[in-house]
Amino acid sequence: MDNGDIEGGEEEFHGKGGRKYRPVVADDRAVLQMSSIDPGSPSTSPLPRNPPPLKNVRVDVDSNMRSDAREGSIPDNVGVNGSQRDSKLELFGFGLVNILGLRSMTGEPIVAPSSPRDGGDGENVAISSGRPKPTDVKLGTLMGVFIPCLQNILGIIYYIRFSWIVGMAGIWESLVLVSFCGLCTFLTSISLSAIATNGAMKGGGPYYLIGRALGPEVGVSIGLCFFLGNAIAGAMYVLGAVETFLKAVPAAGIFRETITKVNGTTTAEPIHSISSHDLQIYGIVVTIILCFIVFGGVKIINRVAPAFLIPVLFSVLCIFIGVFLARKDFPKGLSAKTFKDNWASDYQNTNNAGIPDENGKVAWNFNALVGLFFPAVTGIMAGSNRSASLKDTQRSIPIGTLAATLTTTVLYLVSVIFFGALATRQKLLTDRLLTATIAWPFPAVVHIGIILSTLGAALQSLTGAPRLLAAIANDDILPVLNYFKVADGNEPYIATLFTAFICVGCVVIGNLDLITPTITMFFLLCYSGVNLSCFLLDLLDAPSWRPRWKFHHWLLSLLGASLCIVIMFLISWLFTVVSLALASLIYYYVSIKGKAGDWGDGFKSAYFQLALRTNQVHPKNWYPIPLIFCRPWGKLPENVPCHPKLADFANCMKKKGRGMSIFVSILDGDYYERAEDAKVACKALDTYIDYKRCEGVAEIVVAPNMSEGFRGIVQTMGLGNLKPNIVVMRYPEIWRRENLTEIPATFVGIINDCIVANKAVVIVKGLDEWPNEYQRQFGTIDLYWIVRDGGLMLLLSQLLLTKESFESCKIQVFCIAEEDSDAEGLKADVKKFLYDLRMHAEVIVITMRSWDVRSDGGPQQDESLEAFNAAQLRIANYMAEMKASAAKEGTQMMADGKPVVVDEQQVDKFLYTTLKLNSTILRYSRMSAVVLVSLPPPPANHPAYFYMEYMDLLVENVPRLLMVRGYRRDVVTLFT
């Protein structure tokens, strides 16, 4: 008895004529595990309302196996009988030496989306649930988008680092720097405007935009990186505020540092430098105070936030007034000579405080300045994050964001010219607060403006970053983030503490110039995600892509994404690799551990478009798309929708898990009566596929019997090039033991249906012994490649080697030749052929006599002689019954409901050839990990019962065997 057909269970099923047989019950561990799986788990789509219990699903194999007599018939144009040559070894018309011929190869209505928090998004959501909740106060473009963006963009870098950047890079390189960074954010703003005006936005800002466009994996990975960028930005603002305060009030410093020499030359007056210890101490205190304010609630922060902008704008006005009113002695005032002197760059080494020092450890160049300056142009997401508070989102976000971007970029460009024409190079490089020095009427105006600006920005970071983290956690994609979930309307206290912890850790570093490049990397990663999202959506142009902002193009988005990547590598290739590796690690973790979120992202649209636009699949692009026949030839427990090893085998047919499988079961009965049963069974099968981590879809078909159901499946399943190309099922090993005489006709009918439909076939014998991913196999994978199959058997053997369970095995290809043939020449030809196919295998040539092996006494000495004799006897009895029945009724011999003409000599030839092939397999491949052999097509005008006898003899005593039949196309190619 085969382990694959384990008997058990209390219920008995009746076949034709009152015959009783017991159902097959698999005791595989996966069956027991699957028995506890709830088909309504979150990994599957929601169940219909009031579904019938799962126990009502009956996949009755006894009725499946009852086929009409006509179903087992073989069309005259299907069977391959071949020639009647007696001088060559033949297997149903195919010579065993045809290896040399291989040289010629060259449902339900739309349900609510599955996002656990908000029910998804897009056009499938009900109108009432897809819109943001109304708020009491609605803001316009000025206060809702322009002012918040301006406040976030115009920050600490402009006040305390911009004049120093001009002194280091010179005027013309500073203009290039500002234009380069400004162009990047401008293009990103265009992409952001297009995405933000394509529908209602919810919490999460860029995470929401990117996740809904590129999928949950990309959204979570970039969203978490953007969260880190905002958390670290809080530390940057805190350090900027503290540095400004200590510059304005030097007496407050605990650790004082005085510099008297610049590049070894004594300065006219000593330079008071701020100690890093002072920055650390004051920074930690300020961060703690800000955290207490944040804990007070976001409403208070939003009310006072606009008030922080007024001193900032006033301080900028005072700076420009001071530029025009500057005295000639200090500073010198606007001068053409100074402008000329500062036109070129003068990169120097500096100490940690930014003071030029020949022995300084910090080296500066244009790339480093890009990393330092880029945070000065960030903040374009501030308006889109407030979409729920806007009167007209579709109008305010594009106009407000782009206006703020252009305004600040023009401000920076003008400031480069004024600062370069105002102060000497040494003054630019040594006075970090030159903006305060030149301000009118006194420096305190700028000091106050800087402190208020940075504290306001820090509050925004410490408020926005925790809410971004909470939004990611509430989508329930990544279980590890469940600690940061918050109910609607509640404050994210745990997320705020975590953000404060990161902020304090960065404040302890105490160096603003080291923190800003890190922020730049995370922001650029986020901006590249926004640009790629718009690029993908615009290029695919799905019906749901209808943004109100019309001034966009996929080329602009692609250019914006490219600029982001280029800037990242300009700053530091090491930082870029680390940040991309971090995002990739998060992506991989989310793809492995995360829960599915069906958001209708752009990648799904891309897959759809690519599938439709591919007219003909080249062998280089050929992927197996197996159609897995889940429940034939035996009854599994009702709560196990598929044989547990079928998914393991389906994964073995995919390289690195890539590719789609279609799992199919057939329910007997009337469609109208069993429609609900089919829906529930489909959900259970879908749950099983997720449980086995197999990429695929589930389909349940209701049909009067198995033959009709499969015939409908093989004709209609799939779309275009997404139609299945390989039918996979287990070999019906139980048919003789259970005396299921209806199986041969059904089995032969299925194979003939596959031939007519041009589908490849893979039949697995010994399915219950098939290894899972943790069971490593050793030995060989043996191929008995008898007939031309387009290279499918070779390709399957190579795919098996890519799996951990078979990676230690080696491939052997057995070639069968006549005694009088050139065996060495055959071996050389096959080895060359395999070499050209880039396939590593050992070639073995076996010499066999002609099919009439009775002359050498071969069968009498074969260990399978008993099975051979039993098969001969059964066929003879079956033939006698057909003859007696025909003589009694006075008609032609009938089998499977159709007339047959049996050549008894040909039947003997088929039996002997099958026996010879079986004995050869047992002689050379008894200990192999798996054997692959060509599947011969059913002979025309032979009863299906005879074909099953041939197949039983072929697989006799072979523990694990794959019978493979290709179809009318090549799946491998010699060419690159």
Question: Could you read off the pLDDT of 880-909 as tens digits, one per residue?
Answer: 888 888 888 877 787 877 777 777 888 888
| Superfamily the domain 149-261+270-593 falls into | Amino acid/polyamine transporter I (1.20.1740.10)
pLDDT, residue 862, reads 53
On the question of pLDDT at 972 being above 80, the answer is no
On the question of pLDDT at 295 being above 70, the answer is yes
pLDDT bin (cut points 50, 70, 90) of residue 604 is low
On the question of pLDDT at 500 being above 60, the answer is yes
On the question of pLDDT at 468 being above 50, the answer is yes
Query: Taking the chain, what is the end-to-end CA distance rounded to the nearest angstrom?
Result: 48
pLDDT, residue 782, reads 92
pLDDT bin (cut points 50, 70, 90) of residue 544 is low
On the question of pLDDT at 876 being above 60, the answer is yes
Q: How far apart are CA 640 and CA 30, in angstroms?
A: 9
Q: How far apart are CA 354 and CA 429, in angstroms?
A: 8
Reported in sequence order, the residue ranges of 582-660 that DSSP labels E, i.e. its strands, are 626-629
pLDDT, residue 691, reads 84
Q: pTM for the full model? A: 0.57
Instruction: Region of 974 please: left (phi>0), alpha (psi -120 to 50) or beta.
Output: alpha
User: Rounded to the nearest 10 degrees, how much is the dihedral formed by the CA atoms of 738, 742, 748, 753?
Assistant: -130
pLDDT, residue 38, reads 38
Q: What average pLDDT does range 459-474 have in this prediction? A: 85
pLDDT, residue 875, reads 87
pLDDT bin (cut points 50, 70, 90) of residue 109 is very low
pLDDT bin (cut points 50, 70, 90) of residue 339 is very high
Closest CA to 367 of 600, 597, 551, 173: 173
Q: Using a pLDDT cut of 70, give the percent of the chain over it.
A: 73
CATH fold, domain 626-851+870-965, is: Rossmann fold (3.40.50)
Q: What average pLDDT does range 330-343 have in this prediction? A: 81
pLDDT, residue 560, reads 95
Closest CA to 948 of 911, 903, 920, 922: 911
State how far the alpha carbon of 406 is from the alpha carbons of 148, 383, 400, in Å. 14, 15, 10
CB 158 within 8 A of CB 334: no
pLDDT, residue 477, reads 81
Comparing 371-375, 408-412, 631-635, 671-675, which segment has the lowest mean pLDDT?
631-635
Domain ranges in the chain? Answer: 149-261+270-593, 626-851+870-965
On the question of pLDDT at 659 being above 80, the answer is no
On the question of pLDDT at 351 being above 80, the answer is yes
- Helix or strand holding residue 696 (H, E): strand 696-703
pLDDT, residue 57, reads 35
On the question of pLDDT at 614 being above 80, the answer is no
State how far the alpha carbon of 558 is from the alpha carbons of 358, 381, 449, in Å. 42, 19, 38
